[in-house]
Amino acid sequence: MPIKTEQFYLNVGPQHPSTHGVFRLRLSLDGEVVTDVEPIIGYLHRGIEKLAESRTYTQIIPLTDRLDYLASMTDNVAYCLAVEKLAGIKIPERAEYIRVIFSELMRISSHMMAVGFYLNDCGAFFTPVLYMWREREKIIDLFDMVCGQRLLYNYMRVGGVSQDVPDEFLPAIKKFVAEMPRYIGEYNQLIKQNEIFLARSKGVGILPKETAVNIGASGPVLRASGVKWDIRKMDPYSIYDRFDFEVPTGEAGDCYDRYWVRIQEMTQSLRIIEQAINQIPAKGPICSEVPQFFRPPPGETYGYIEAPKGNLGFYIVSDGSIAPYRLHIYPPTLINITALKDMMIGWKVADLIIIFGSMDVVLGEIDR
């Protein structure tokens, strides 16, 4: 006699350690196999786009910190670039280099968190995270040195950066860049050949190339699927055309590739930082003169950068007043999770946690 089965609904989250924030997945299960996935979001919605309409352009910078709070420096950069594009503001050479150095440090830090917590989801409980945190702490100390903040930096300004780096910064970052490759080697030694890790991540949660492009995925998720698309390379903003670096890509588009692309990107970021330290002008202004309340000419612009998690953009419409008429944030992780359904159906609940972990999701950015 065949066993009678029926569909079973399960809520993962919103308060669940593996959802990396307040994220809810409504699963339909057949036994332990996932048959349908519906992400439910909005638990962290603060209405940043609406708030921005009643603030001046400078007052919006701290709001952008609270988007992707694990990479607030790049959020600042993306917003400032968009406003500079809108108002036609040029920024000094030294500030460009400082921005590049901090963006790349932020990328390393963000990827470390992503890889660390991904391994946590794989079952390597907290040891890898603490290994990653050891070096992330050093990056945060560097940020602390320049702006006195450890999480929400509010360091970039329209027209440059808020303050110059202190004298002890350059020796400290040189030391970090010299040490870091050894630590990346250590991570690879610990993780890359681990049999349990390979068994759980190779071939799991495959995102085919065509789907990745069609859903508009970006960042390491897109590159792991084999699409060589990095805005720093394809449409260089700031001064990224001066640096020599490679764009790592994956082949299969599985969880392992997404992990491995991130690790390789850390090495490439170190290369960029090294070149930037050698090229940075020793002295010079760090912020061009921008009035406190400036009025960009009426018009619209879309400024975008390659943030650690993907293509982060700001669409700003100005009506010539001191506050934007409309500000829209294009969040990479919200677009990346469009693919969750394709990746999760047919896998078991335990794999679903891993697939979700490999997407590197930050809810502050999804919900805004």
CB of 91 to other proteins, least distance (A): 19
42-71: which residues touch other proteins (CB under 8 A)? Answer: 42, 45, 47, 49-50
How many angstroms separate the CA atoms of 110 and 262, rounded? 9
DSSP strand pairing (24-30 vs 8-12): antiparallel
Is 236 a residue that touches other proteins (CB under 8 A)? Answer: yes
Is 86 a residue that touches other proteins (CB under 8 A)? Answer: no
User: CB 233: neighbour CB atoms within 10 A?
Assistant: 15
Contact 91, 81 (CB under 8 A): no
Q: Which is nearer to other proteins, 205 or 303 (CB)?
A: 303
Is 330 a residue that touches other proteins (CB under 8 A)? Answer: yes
Vertex 363 angle, CA 231 and 154, to 5° = 65
Q: Which is nearer to other proteins, 172 or 345 (CB)?
A: 345
Q: List beta partners, residue 161.
A: 156
User: Which one of residues 64, 76, 103, 311 is an interface residue with other proteins (CB under 8 A)?
Assistant: 311
User: Which one of residues 128, 313, 357, 364 is an interface residue with other proteins (CB under 8 A)?
Assistant: 313
Is 297 a residue that touches other proteins (CB under 8 A)? Answer: no
Q: Which is nearer to other proteins, 200 or 223 (CB)?
A: 223
User: Which one of residues 335, 343, 344, 363 is an interface residue with other proteins (CB under 8 A)?
Assistant: 335
The alpha carbon of 69 is separated from its chain's Cα centroid by a whole number of angstroms, namely 9
Q: Which tokens sit at 104? A: 């790349």
Q: Which is nearer to other proteins, 92 or 216 (CB)?
A: 216
Name the E strands within the chain: 8-12, 24-30, 33-40, 156-157, 160-161, 299-307, 310-318, 326-330
Q: Which is nearer to other proteins, 148 or 299 (CB)?
A: 299
How many angstroms separate the CA atoms of 15 and 349, rounded? 17
Question: Which span sits near other proteins by CB under 8 A: 55-63, 81-89, 183-191, 211-219?
Answer: 211-219
Q: Name the 3-class secondary structure at 91.
A: coil
User: Which one of residues 34, 41, 122, 359 is an interface residue with other proteins (CB under 8 A)?
Assistant: 41
How many angstroms separate the CA atoms of 356 and 368, rounded? 19
User: CB 294: neighbour CB atoms within 10 A?
Assistant: 15
- What's the number of CA atoms in the CB half-sphere (13 Å) around residue 103? 31
Is 215 a residue that touches other proteins (CB under 8 A)? Answer: yes
Is 338 a residue that touches other proteins (CB under 8 A)? Answer: yes
Is 325 a residue that touches other proteins (CB under 8 A)? Answer: yes
Q: Taking Cα atoms as reference points, which of 83, 36, 33 lies closest to residue 59?
A: 83
Q: Which tokens sit at 348? A: 């078991």
Q: Taking Cα atoms as reference points, which of 27, 52, 22, 51 lies closest to residue 37?
A: 27
Helix, strand, coil shares, percent, the chain, to 5: 50, 15, 35
Q: Name the 3-class secondary structure at 185.
A: helix
Question: Which span sits near other proteins by CB under 8 A: 12-20, 135-143, 166-174, 215-223?
Answer: 215-223
User: Which one of residues 24, 55, 66, 328 is an interface residue with other proteins (CB under 8 A)?
Assistant: 328
Contact 197, 122 (CB under 8 A): yes
User: Which one of residues 24, 66, 174, 326 is an interface residue with other proteins (CB under 8 A)?
Assistant: 326
Is 216 a residue that touches other proteins (CB under 8 A)? Answer: yes
User: Which one of residues 22, 239, 247, 317 is an interface residue with other proteins (CB under 8 A)?
Assistant: 317
Q: Which is nearer to other proteins, 133 or 330 (CB)?
A: 330
Q: Which is nearer to other proteins, 51 or 145 (CB)?
A: 51
Question: Which span sits near other proteins by CB under 8 A: 68-76, 145-153, 280-288, 329-337?
Answer: 329-337
Q: Which stretches of the chain bind other proteins, using CB under 8 A? A: 41-42, 45, 47, 49-50, 211, 213-216, 218, 227, 229, 234-236, 300, 302, 304, 311, 313, 315, 317, 325-326, 328, 330, 334-335, 337-338, 367-368
